[in-house]
Chains A and B, each alone.
Chain A
Amino acid sequence: MNKTDLQNRVLAFIGGAADDFNALALEIFAFQREHNLPYRNYCGKRGIERWQDIPAVPTSAFKHLPITCFPAAEAVAEFHTSGTTAAQTGKHYFKTLALYDAACVPNFRAHLFPDGATLPLLSLVPDNPHSSLTYMIRRLGARFVDRLEPVTEPVCVLGTAFHFLNLFDAGFRLKLPAGSRVMETGGFKGRSREISQRELHRLIAERLGVTMIINEYGMTELSTQFYDHQPGMDCKDVPPWARVLIINPKTGQEAQPGEPGLIRVFDLANLWSAMVVQTEDLGVAEGDGFRILGRAVGAESRGCSLAAEVLQQA
């Protein structure tokens, strides 16, 4: 199958056409192994028969190697991870944004507007040319705002946990009209204050009068996002064109049900980069979805270690 056919097949699958996930994943694996040299070097020639066995690309690889199946110079967009120095910035190159758009917009609508409503979208996240999050926000048609103003009709507010907390720490309070909603996404990395998601949702409900709050889990290295199944449930849905495995870090194998482990994402929309991404986040499988427990790397250690950020500040 040629590249265009493969892309069309993935687009159709994301659009709802029937297909065989395993077969498609194996096709993409073969394609990526052929066209991405670092991935080929890593995978070797091993034979793979199940999508579960396809080797994952660690997110750190995006910081050091070109993880693309096309010449990076031909990219129509590149998204960067947050990081203070070049060595810490991961880059995700896009040959096309068609797959990203297809994976992003309907999935967002299905979770924020299950009732089919169309509300104005307001983003507390500032625009940033290399952020995948702000690209998504632009693509959704949101307006970037510095602050929330009183409105008469319901709105949908998008922001990172950090942005909401910043607002509330300054004493902000505004009752949004009934039917308003909030999408919040992770974003405490390197910030001075962290609170639990439950506490954040309680604050959002109290300060903005919004009860429909949905958390989004996304990352620069992926093209697909994951949303809470429904408000108040922190279990994430996995759309049909993606899979999530929880990997027990002590065995490297899939964790037992209920056992925490590292979140590994299989995202067919990442056709031109890496379909299988090994995240640095801990999670636990729950029903057909998964729950996020937090970041594993950089978690407090029991030893006489100095947190990486202390060393960076030194």
Chain B
Amino acid sequence: MSATVEQVREAIIRMRAARDHVLAHRSTPTVIAALAETARRWLAVDSPWRARASEQAAESLGFSPAMVNEIVDLIFGQWTPEALGELLDKELGDRRVLDEFQPLGRLASRAIGPRLITHILAGNVPAPGLVSILSGLLLRSANLVKPAARDPVFPRLFLESLTEVDAELAACVAVLDWPRTETAVTQAALAEAEAVLVCGDDRTIAALRAMAPATAVFMGYGHKISFAVIGREAMTEENLPALARAAAFDVSVYDQQGCLSPHVIYVEERGALSPRKFAGALATAMAEYQQRVPRGRLSVEEAATLTTLRAGYQFRAESDRRLSVWAGPQPNDWLVVYEDDPSFSPSCLNRMVYVKPTDGFSRVLDNVRRYVPLISTVGVAPFDERARALARELAEMGVTRVCPLGEMQQPPLTWHHDGRPNLAALVRWTDVG
């Protein structure tokens, strides 16, 4: 059902009233409790929300039901009362600033969330959209949510589950959808927003930025790519299976559709085992993960892209010793390409990853330098002193996240999404004194 301008305006009026009530009568601890309780209900093994998401989101997002199950754990597993409190403390200095003036230095200060946040979500993975709504609720804002065409399920189910736990808080959220060509509706959705949060490609972000009110806080999260680096110290017989499992997980989760999914894994030479050996172990781990959590369905174009790439590499690998290919039994199953060519190669996604040998971290930096504005996360193993030195260099280049391999897909709520604060950028402060 496509929302009309009137429906959007009515929803805004309704939500703002609900928001004013929540702001006046509720405290941060009760908001945290409601959100954590909602997450707990999703996480239960026999959760009806989990079951409904598996059924419906598998259809719309194209993930397998097992993948949706995995996604539910990844997202809601993070929403503990401790993590939510920590997020507020870290971003705002003290969670209590949302409830009353708190002494901060010579002043007493209070933070107030936007009266209305308009969220425009992307359809590749559900996590950023849900975290966006979560942020708005923590700040006790009204939240107008436009889900992506490909993911109408997660935002709506989340709202329904929140209503069950805390109808008062849930009244601060409305999920309304309309085609992006209906610019009058988009304008109505943006006109009164004090903050606009957009996930999408650069064109979408630019268009919405131009339409958003000049005074609104605007946060655009564009498409990003990620990669991983494995140091030679990790390349031992003993480590190999766990290392491969960690990498296979990072590559396979969300069927590689997310910004945090690695496209290339650089493996340092001169370890006890060769980078090629890692590629073989990764293939085994990819196959195991596929058994447990099958990849979702593909469009004809995606399948054709994957088969084309696979056939091309398989043909070349028979005559070129610098190449090796491991692939699942079906023509467009997972694909691991070992290529002795250090250049950064973007994957075609859907569980296709390059493994490339490198003679050192500095060489990796040379090869990724020009892509830095597009890079989100670098997964590193082992996560030791050398990894931290690498992180310092990546930070200076402009990369915004370095994490242990195997955790690329689970940034804690306290991370700086694309290198920026999440809540701190949204609130307005009032100082007294």
Q: A302-B150, A303-B124 are in contact. Are A249 and B307 (CB under 8 A)?
A: yes
Q: A305-B223, A306-B346, A314-B373 are in contact. Are A262 and B304 (CB under 8 A)?
A: yes
A-B contact pairs, 20 of them (CB 8 A): A42-B315, A42-B318, A58-B312, A58-B315, A65-B315, A65-B319, A249-B306, A249-B332, A251-B330, A280-B304, A280-B308, A296-B300, A300-B301, A303-B350, A304-B122, A304-B257, A305-B346, A310-B374, A311-B346, A314-B371
Contact status A261-B300, CB under 8 Å? yes
Interface positions of B from 292 to 311, Cβ below 8 Å from A: 298-309, 311
Residue on A nearest B306 in the bound complex, by CB: A249
Residue on A nearest B125 in the bound complex, by CB: A304
Which positions in A face B, CB cutoff 8 Å? 37-38, 41-42, 56-61, 64-65, 249-252, 260-262, 278, 280, 282, 296-306, 308, 310-311, 314
Residues of A within 8 A of B318 (CB): 38, 41-42
Contact status B308-A296, CB under 8 Å? yes
Residue on A nearest B298 in the bound complex, by CB: A250
Q: A262-B304, A304-B261, A305-B348 are in contact. Are A252 and B331 (CB under 8 A)?
A: yes
Contact status A301-B308, CB under 8 Å? no
Given contacts A61-B315, A304-B224, A304-B257, 20 further A-B contacts (CB under 8 A): A41-B318, A60-B308, A60-B315, A60-B316, A61-B312, A61-B316, A64-B316, A65-B315, A65-B320, A250-B300, A251-B331, A262-B307, A262-B308, A282-B300, A296-B300, A297-B308, A304-B261, A310-B374, A314-B370, A314-B373
Residue on B nearest A281 in the bound complex, by CB: B304
Residues of B within 8 A of A250 (CB): 298, 300, 303, 330-332
> Would you call B258 an interface residue if the criterion is a C-beta within 8 Å of the partner chain's C-beta atoms?
yes
Q: A249-B331, A261-B300 are in contact. Are A306 and B315 (CB under 8 A)?
A: no
CA distance A56 to B299 in the complex (A): 23
Q: A304-B223, A304-B224, A306-B374 are in contact. Are A38 and B304 (CB under 8 A)?
A: no
CA distance A194 to B320 in the complex (A): 37
> Would you call B234 an interface residue if the criterion is a C-beta within 8 Å of the partner chain's C-beta atoms?
no
Q: A278-B308, A282-B300 are in contact. Are A302 and B319 (CB under 8 A)?
A: no
A56: min CB distance to chain B, Å: 8
Judged by DSSP, the binding face of A is loop
Q: How many B residues are at the interface, by size bracket?
A: 35 or more
Q: A249-B303, A252-B331, A261-B304 are in contact. Are A304 and B258 (CB under 8 A)?
A: yes
Contact status A306-B320, CB under 8 Å? no
Contact status B304-A297, CB under 8 Å? yes
> Would you call B422 an interface residue if the criterion is a C-beta within 8 Å of the partner chain's C-beta atoms?
no
Residues of B within 8 A of A38 (CB): 315-316, 318-319
> Would you call B53 an interface residue if the criterion is a C-beta within 8 Å of the partner chain's C-beta atoms?
no
Residues of B within 8 A of A65 (CB): 315-316, 319-320
Residues of B within 8 A of A251 (CB): 330-331
Q: Contact flags (1/0) for B167-191 with A, using CB distance below 8 Å?
A: 0000000000000000000000000
Residues of B within 8 A of A59 (CB): 312
CA distance A219 to B292 in the complex (A): 42
CA distance A103 to B348 in the complex (A): 36
CA distance A296 to B311 in the complex (A): 14
Residues of A within 8 A of B316 (CB): 38, 60-61, 64-65
Contact status A296-B349, CB under 8 Å? no
Q: A41-B319, A57-B315, A58-B315 are in contact. Are A311 and B256 (CB under 8 A)?
A: no
> Would you call B65 an interface residue if the criterion is a C-beta within 8 Å of the partner chain's C-beta atoms?
no
Residue on A nearest B255 in the bound complex, by CB: A303
> Would you call B88 an interface residue if the criterion is a C-beta within 8 Å of the partner chain's C-beta atoms?
no
> Would you call B62 an interface residue if the criterion is a C-beta within 8 Å of the partner chain's C-beta atoms?
yes
CA distance A298 to B331 in the complex (A): 18
Contact status A305-B301, CB under 8 Å? no
A61: min CB distance to chain B, Å: 5
Contact status B308-A58, CB under 8 Å? yes
CA distance A61 to B311 in the complex (A): 9
A136: min CB distance to chain B, Å: 25
CA distance A262 to B314 in the complex (A): 17
Residues of B within 8 A of A306 (CB): 223, 225, 346, 374
Contact status B370-A302, CB under 8 Å? no
Contact status A311-B223, CB under 8 Å? no
Residue on B nearest A247 in the bound complex, by CB: B307
Residues of A within 8 A of B347 (CB): 305
CA distance A275 to B274 in the complex (A): 38
Residues of A within 8 A of B332 (CB): 249-250
CA distance A214 to B125 in the complex (A): 43
CA distance A38 to B320 in the complex (A): 9
